């Protein structure tokens, strides 16, 4: 998927950003505690396992960053945007 198509799909998933090379989707969420961030990371992990589409997840005290891209193709696919929308709905 090229940058132009990705930017059009990005409109429908508030808070997400494209990486500089437009091959990844990323969003950081903030939380009041480490436990809240950890629970969110686990919830995203469970959703991802159910959907069979796994992001990179990094979390620590007060934050959780989710990065989607399709590992097989080394870039973005429509499924990455669908998963980002599902994460937004959590």
Res 3: pLDDT: 92
Query: What SS3 state is found at 7?
Result: helix
Q: CATH for 3-88, among 3.30.565.40, 3.40.190.10, 3.30.1360.20, 3.30.2390.10?
A: 3.30.1360.20
Provide the pLDDT confidence category of residue 71 given band limits of 50, 70 and 90: confident
List the one residue out of 17, 37, 38, 20 whose CA is nearest residue 29.
37
Given this model, what pLDDT does residue 28 score? 98
**At residue 32, does pLDDT exceed 90?**
yes
Confidence of residue 1 (pLDDT cuts 50, 70, 90): confident
Q: Is the pLDDT of residue 72 over 90?
A: no
pTM reported for the whole predicted model: 0.91
> Is residue 8 over pLDDT 90?
yes
């Amino acid at each position: 998927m090229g940058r132009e198509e990705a930017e059009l799909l990005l409109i429908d998933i508030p808070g997400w950003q494209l990486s500089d090379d437009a091959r990844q989707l990323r969003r950081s969420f903030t939380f009041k505690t480490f436990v809240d961030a950890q629970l969110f990371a686990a919830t995203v992990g469970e959703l991802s396992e159910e959907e069979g589409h796994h992001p990179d997840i990094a979390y620590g005290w007060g934050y959780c960053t989710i990065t989607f891209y399709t590992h097989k193709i080394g870039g973005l696919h429509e499924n990455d945007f669908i998963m980002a929308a599902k994460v937004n709905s959590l």
